[in-house]
Amino acid sequence: MNFGFNEQQNAIRESVARFSADVLAPGYRQRDREGNIERAVIQQMGEMGLLGGELPEEFGGSGLDCVTAGIIIEEISRGDFNVGYIPLLTSLNGQIIAQHAQPELAREWLAEITAGRKVVCIALTEPSGGSDAASLRLKAERRGDVYVLNGEKTSISMADQADVAVVFARTGTQESRANGISAFLVPMNSKGISTTRFEDAGQRAIGRGSIFFDNVEVPASHRLGDEGKGFKQVMQGFDYSRALIGLQCLALAQQSLDETWQWLTERQAFGQPLAAFQGLTHPLAEFQTFVQAARLQCYYALWLKDNGMPHNPEAAMNKWWGPKLAYDTINQCLLAHGHTGYGEDLPFAQRLRDVLGLQIGDGTAQIMKNIIAREYVPK
């Protein structure tokens, strides 16, 4: 077993780390205040090959492995957690589009998405169901060469910033649940689409909102996968994104730890540096251990995917543990900074708000634990 990154991966890590520190980190607070991610930054990531690099070259990728995609997201998220959502959405949706869209359609859109000229989101959740994703009601009715979509998606990240969406809609009866769901690639400028944005505690640069479909016509050629089988075919991509989400959150945890270890050596109390007090160092040592273990778990899941091996329970472990551990770690780092940590001059409060959202979105801890339990309960 090899626990190290190869020469190419280390070179990519160093390059992305510089970009993240120099370009992303200084704008973290500003993006939160303005509620958007600048297109210039997204295009710069595209030019650097940081978006969908694991996709085949014919679709705008570089043929990188999934472990390397994890490295990229981890380093970007150290500088700005929210900007890290762009390569995450590109990787998740990019693989869905590459595998299930008609080749010409996939090449058309993925060339723009991987270049950073277009942004893609995924529209699954509805007002009537979050964790019960197969209960969705948005209707797609076939009328000749088009499907007509009517209904609402809600709690959609990048809803009002995306150019195109992977949309799950019901083409069968309500009783057929997952067996009656199809997926579509829908341009967000299509006639009949409107969006709203929520006022959230965190992830404001990403933005979360509803998408309304009012007689939206989508060409049948934009269907992803087989009719009625889109849910089962496309949902497999979430195993990949869950490992990436773990790294996205843990990046903020590690960044907070790095800053706090340094703080303990610089701040003096009772004639000694704070690092001399075990009441401060021992909790951090515990979280350092947990974070390192969780990171290895995430990379293990990505390694399994690269080697064509099942990684469903491992991905679920990444998704429930990563966001929770990141929140708890950042909270401890905030406390270690005392009254200065509680203020908005330091980034800990915003980091807490940002990672909290992923204890809810993209699969709750309870659902992830159900997935894990199904694997380990004797058959």
Per-residue DSSP letter, 129: B
Residue 1 in any domain: the answer is no
284 and 347 share a domain? yes
Q: In what helix (H) or strand (E) does residue 335 lie, and over which residues does it extend?
A: helix 312-336
Residues 69 and 45 in one domain: yes
Domain containing 112 equals 7-118
Same-domain check for residues 158 and 94: no
Last residue within a domain, chosen from 84, 118, 152: 118
Whether 2 is covered by a domain: the verdict is no
The answer to whether residue 37 is domain-embedded is yes
Question: Is 128 among the domain residues?
Answer: yes
- Residues 153, 39, single domain; the answer is no
- As given in the structure block, the two tokens for residue 178 are 């997952």
What is the chain's alpha carbon radius of gyration, rounded to the nearest angstrom? 21
Q: Which residue is listed with tokens 């990019």?
A: 94
Question: Which residues in 248-265 are b (16+ Cβ under 10 Å) and which e?
Answer: bbbbbbbbbbeebbebbe
DSSP 8-class letter at 229 = B
The pair of structure tokens assigned to 360 is 């809810």
- As given in the structure block, the two tokens for residue 277 are 């007090």
Number of domains forming the structure of the chain: 3
Question: If DSSP codes are grouped into helix, strand and coil, which group holds residue 156?
Answer: strand
**Tens place of pLDDT for every residue, the chain, 379 residues?**
688 899 999 999 999 999 999 999 999 999 999 999 999 999 999 999 999 999 999 999 998 999 999 999 999 999 999 999 999 999 999 999 999 999 999 999 999 999 999 999 999 999 977 667 667 889 999 999 999 999 999 999 999 999 999 999 999 776 667 778 999 999 999 999 999 999 999 999 999 999 999 999 999 999 998 888 877 777 777 889 999 999 999 999 999 999 999 999 999 999 999 999 999 999 999 999 999 999 999 999 999 999 999 999 999 999 999 999 999 999 999 999 999 999 999 999 999 999 999 999 888 999 999 999 999 999 8
Query: Residue 266's Cα: distance from chain center in Å?
Result: 35
- CB-based contacts of 373, cutoff 8 Å, min separation 6: none
Query: What amino acid is encoded at 315 in this protein?
Result: A
Relative to beta strand 181-187, strand 223-224 is: antiparallel
Q: What's 130's domain CATH number?
A: 2.40.110.10
CA distance 295 to 182: 34
Same domain? 14 vs 72:
yes
Does residue 133 sit in the same domain as residue 202?
yes
pTM: 0.94
Last residue of a domain, one of 103, 118, 133: 118
Is 65 contained in some domain? yes
The structure tokens listed for 61 are: 């990728």
Task: Please tell me the distance from the alpha carbon of residue 369 to that of residue 126, in angstroms, as a whole number.
Answer: 22
